[in-house]
Amino acid sequence: MISEKMVKALNDQINAELYSAYLYLAMSADFKSKNLEGFANWMRVQTKEEMAHAMKFFDFIVERLGKVELEAIKKPQAGWPSPLAMFEAAYKHEQFITDKINKLVELAQSEKDHAMESFLKWFVDEQVEEEASADKIVQQLKLVKDSAGSLLMIDHQLAKREFNSPAK
C-alpha cells in the first residue's frame, strides 16, 4: 500500500508528464509550420518519451494499489519566435521537471517508502539525460546564430532521432 499523500503527488506527476508531451507536440507542430522537419521529428519523438514517462507513473500507482486520477492538461503555448527560443523553453521545462522529481524523491525518503525511492531512481537518471540533450541543441543553435545552412544541417541531424521505448 502507498500513502494518500504519495498517490496525490504521483497523480500530479502523471499530469506534468502529459503536459510535457503536449508542450513538445505543440513545438513539433510549430517546427512543422516552419518546414523544419528534423526539428519537428525530434519533438515528436520527445512527445512519445513523455507519454511513456506518464505511463510509468500510471503503472506504478496501480501496482502499489493506489487510484489513478487524471486532471485537466494545461494548454501549451502555440508558437515560439525561433528554434533557439523553443529549445531554451524545452530546457527550462526539463529543469522544472527535474525539480518535481527531486521533490518526489524527498517525499519518498520522508515517508520511508523504499519501493517508491527505488522506482524514482530511473527518473533521476533520465532527467540528467533530458536536460543534457535539450541543452546540447541550445548550444548548437547559439553557435549557428542566423546561418540558414547550418540550421538545415542540424535539422538533418535531428531527423534521425528514433523513439526507443524506455525499459520497464
Residues in the site for Fe ion, rule: CB under 5 A?
A: 17, 49-50, 53, 130
Distance CA 113, CA 110 (A): 8
Nearer to Fe ion, 30 or 49 (CB): 49
Least distance from Fe ion to the Cβ atom of residue 71, Å: 17
44 three-class SS: helix
Least distance from Fe ion to the Cβ atom of residue 81, Å: 25
Least distance from Fe ion to the Cβ atom of residue 121, Å: 15
97 contact partners, CB below 8 Å, separation of at least 6: 16, 17, 20, 127, 130
Nearer to Fe ion, 2 or 14 (CB): 14
Nearer to Fe ion, 138 or 151 (CB): 138
Q: Give me the residue whose beta carbon is nearest to Fe ion.
A: 53
Least distance from Fe ion to the Cβ atom of residue 55, Å: 11
Instruction: State the CB neighbour count (10 A cutoff) for residue 104.
Output: 22
Distance CA 112, CA 129 (A): 27
Confirm if 133 and 104 have CB atoms less than 8 A apart: no
Least distance from Fe ion to the Cβ atom of residue 134, Å: 10
Nearer to Fe ion, 49 or 155 (CB): 49
78 three-class SS: coil
Confirm if 53 and 126 have CB atoms less than 8 A apart: yes
Nearer to Fe ion, 19 or 151 (CB): 19
Distance CA 68, CA 138 (A): 36
- Amino acid at the residue 114: H
